[in-house]
């Protein structure tokens, strides 16, 4: 089964790092986000990968090549101009014509859940499945009891009653006919599917997940994913373990 990685964004919030490398190539403990994703996908049997690339595409192509040194097969769908998540997927449809279902993920997320659970939920009634995770609070929380006495401090807890889009999707190939030429799948296709009851959420609790949107995310993910990053570094003999924000 194939996986599509959207790796064409400019990563403006991570400048000046992204002046010279695309966002998926940012290194966390010496391991690029993209290498982490390829290793994660391969671990769960997704060895056929389509990379949707645009901005500084040569940096990605020089690093990944055909994917053979990472144990996967990689194909490239190239955007000459930014197309959004929906347009990028539509641009890659020639690589997906033989697939009944596949997964797609943003090129700036790290997670350790099993993405096969998404494609397992695709059936005639569900044309798309979204991985959702509990909302991580950006702030510490103070619990207040009787007479406004402070009971407990909770440092940046996960808010289990709220769920957010994790940026990983299981998709039926039929959605390719409904994608915009230019635009985001999250604001075009998904709301339409929701109106007809054809999209489902799969909840992943007690797992690691982070979207790498800021310098702080780079630093914190190096701690959160330490064991997985250490394993990849050993596997590919990576000795320079610095973050790109250092």
DSSP 4: E
Tokens of residue 83, six digits:
């197309």
Selecting among 2, 15, 90, 156, the annotated active-site residue is 156
Question: Do the beta carbons of residue 127 and residue 175 sit within 8 Å?
Answer: yes
Provide the β-strand partners of residue 27: 32
Question: Do the beta carbons of residue 168 and residue 112 sit within 8 Å?
Answer: no
| Interatomic CA distance for residues 95 and 212, integer angstroms | 27
Tokens of residue 50, six digits:
């389509």
Q: Is 101 a catalytic residue?
A: no
User: Checking DSSP bridges between strand 48-53 and strand 2-6, what pairing results, if any?
Assistant: parallel
Question: Do the beta carbons of residue 58 and residue 78 sit within 8 Å?
Answer: no
Type and span of the H or E element at 130: strand 128-136
| Interatomic CA distance for residues 35 and 14, integer angstroms | 18
Instruction: Report the catalytic residues.
Output: 156
């Amino acid at each position: 089964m194939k996986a599509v990685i959207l790796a064409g964004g400019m990563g403006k919030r991570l400048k000046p790092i992204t002046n010279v490398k695309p966002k998926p190539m940012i290194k966390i403990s010496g391991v690029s986000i993209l290498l982490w994703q390829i290793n994660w996908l391969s671990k769960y049997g997704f060895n056929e990968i389509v990379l949707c690339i645009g901005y500084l595409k040569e940096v990605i192509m020089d690093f990944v090549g055909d994917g053979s040194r990472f144990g996967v097969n990689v194909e490239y769908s190239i955007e000459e101009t930014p197309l959004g998540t929906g347009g990028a997927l539509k641009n890659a449809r020639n690589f997906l014509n033989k697939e009944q279902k596949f997964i797609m993920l943003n090129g700036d997320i790290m997670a350790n859940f099993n993405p096969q659970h998404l494609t397992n939920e695709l059936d005639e009634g569900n044309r798309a499945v979204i991985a959702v995770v509990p909302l991580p609070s950006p702030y510490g929380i103070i619990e207040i009891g009787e007479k406004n006495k402070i009971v407990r401090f909770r440092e940046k807890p996960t808010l289990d009653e709220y769920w957010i889009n994790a940026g990983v999707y299981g998709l039926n190939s039929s959605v390719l006919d409904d994608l915009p030429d230019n635009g985001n799948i999250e604001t075009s296709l998904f709301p339409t599917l929701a109106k007809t009851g054809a999209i489902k959420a799969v909840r992943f609790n007690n797992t690691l997940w982070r979207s790498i949107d800021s310098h702080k995310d780079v630093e914190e993910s190096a701690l959160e994913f330490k064991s997985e990053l250490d394993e990849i570094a050993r596997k590919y003999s990576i000795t320079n373990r610095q973050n790109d924000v250092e």
